[in-house]
Amino acid sequence: DQQVKQNSPSLSVQEGRISILNCDYTNSMFDYFLWYKKYPAEGPTFLISISSIKDKNEDGRFTVFLNKSAKHLSLHIVPSQPGDSAVYFCAAQDYQLIWGAGTKLIIKP
Amino acid sequence: NAGVTQTPKFRVLKTGQSMTLLCAQDMNHEYMYWYRQDPGMGLRLIHYSVGEGTTAKGEVPDGYNVSRLKKQNFLLGLESAAPSQTSVYFCASSLQGGNQPQHFGDGTRLSIL
């Protein structure tokens, strides 16, 4: 049973607009969440994280929002750029990282 | 700036053959990890190490063995490869455990025929 779910396998967004990637989790004991970005033929790279004591964390164009009551987090990218086209993974910290299946983001020119 | 280096990048094996995947990191990280990624799934932890000379099982350890004889190297072994082990394997390292971000290699694509 997947504890971290990314229900959208892919997402297409116009360049300059906002990209919103969603992630749901089932275990209320998770207290730290991370987003990773992955280009083809490369390993994932860390993007941004959030602790459960916060509901928002921002780093430049990237903002992660956490709604603990809904067990939901989202990654906002504003404005979206062509280089943002990649697969985005959400992960929750337990004794190990529990990963979602990823969402492929395509930025259209 | 090598970071985490995995060798080989690609390999095709026959069922029953053995092989070792090598991971090397030059960041003096204590923790190292081996994951597999299969289509439509997130990364799954195979084994990990919290320091030189230590190893521990992750979520999917069966059919794999690991060794961490030197701090900078983490080896993943398949003693008798099976088609179910066809996957992309990623090695990662982190300074410590807990909430420290993991740094990944570029992966090894392994096919078992």
| pLDDT value at B1 more than 70 | no
Residues of B in contact with A98 (CB under 8 A): 42
> In 3D, which of B110, B29, B38 has the Cα closest to residue B76?
B110
User: What pLDDT, on the 0 to 100 scale, is given for residue A97?
Assistant: 92
User: What pLDDT, on the 0 to 100 scale, is given for residue B89?
Assistant: 98
| pLDDT value at B20 more than 70 | yes
Nearest to B107 among A43, A45, A96 (CB): A43
A32/B99 touch (CB, cutoff 8 Å), yes or no: yes
User: What pLDDT, on the 0 to 100 scale, is given for residue A40?
Assistant: 94
Residues of B in contact with A39 (CB under 8 A): none
Residues of B in contact with A2 (CB under 8 A): 42
> In 3D, which of A63, A46, A45, A62 has the Cα closest to residue A54?
A63
Chain A residue at shortest CA distance from B109: A41
Of B95 and A95, the one with more pLDDT: B95
| pLDDT value at B45 more than 70 | yes
Share the mean pLDDT of chain A. 96
Segment B49-73 shows an average pLDDT of 96
Backbone angles phi, psi at A81, to 5 degrees: -125, 155
Chain A residue at shortest CA distance from B47: A96
Q: Which residue type, as a one-letter code, is found at position B98?
A: G
Share the mean pLDDT of chain B. 95
Backbone conformation region of residue B69, classed left if phi is above 0, alpha if psi is from -120 to 50, else beta: alpha
Tens-place pLDDT, residues A23-39:
999 999 999 999 999 99
Q: How many CA atoms lie within 13 A of B96 on its CB side?
A: 2
DSSP string, A15-77: TTS-EEEEEEES-TT--EEEEEEE-TTS--EEEEEEETT-SEEEETTEEEEEETTTTEEEEEE
B102 in helix, strand or coil? coil
Segment A47-73 shows an average pLDDT of 96
Segment B43-48 shows an average pLDDT of 97
Tens-place pLDDT, residues B72-86:
999 999 999 999 999
| pLDDT value at A9 more than 90 | yes
Q: How far is A73 from chain B (nearest CA, A)?
A: 17
Other residues' Cβ atoms within 10 Å of the Cβ of residue B39:
7
Q: Which residues pair with A99 in a beta bridge?
A: A91
Segment A40-55 shows an average pLDDT of 96
| pLDDT value at A1 more than 80 | no
Q: By CB neighbour count within 10 A (0-12 exposed, 13-18 middle, 19+ buried), where does A96 fall?
A: middle
Segment A6-35 shows an average pLDDT of 96
Backbone angles phi, psi at B2, to 5 degrees: -70, -40
CA B55 to chain centre: 12
Residues of A in contact with B105 (CB under 8 A): 43
**Which pair of structure tokens corresponds to residue A60?**
């430049």
B90/A51 touch (CB, cutoff 8 Å), yes or no: no
Other residues' Cβ atoms within 10 Å of the Cβ of residue A29:
8
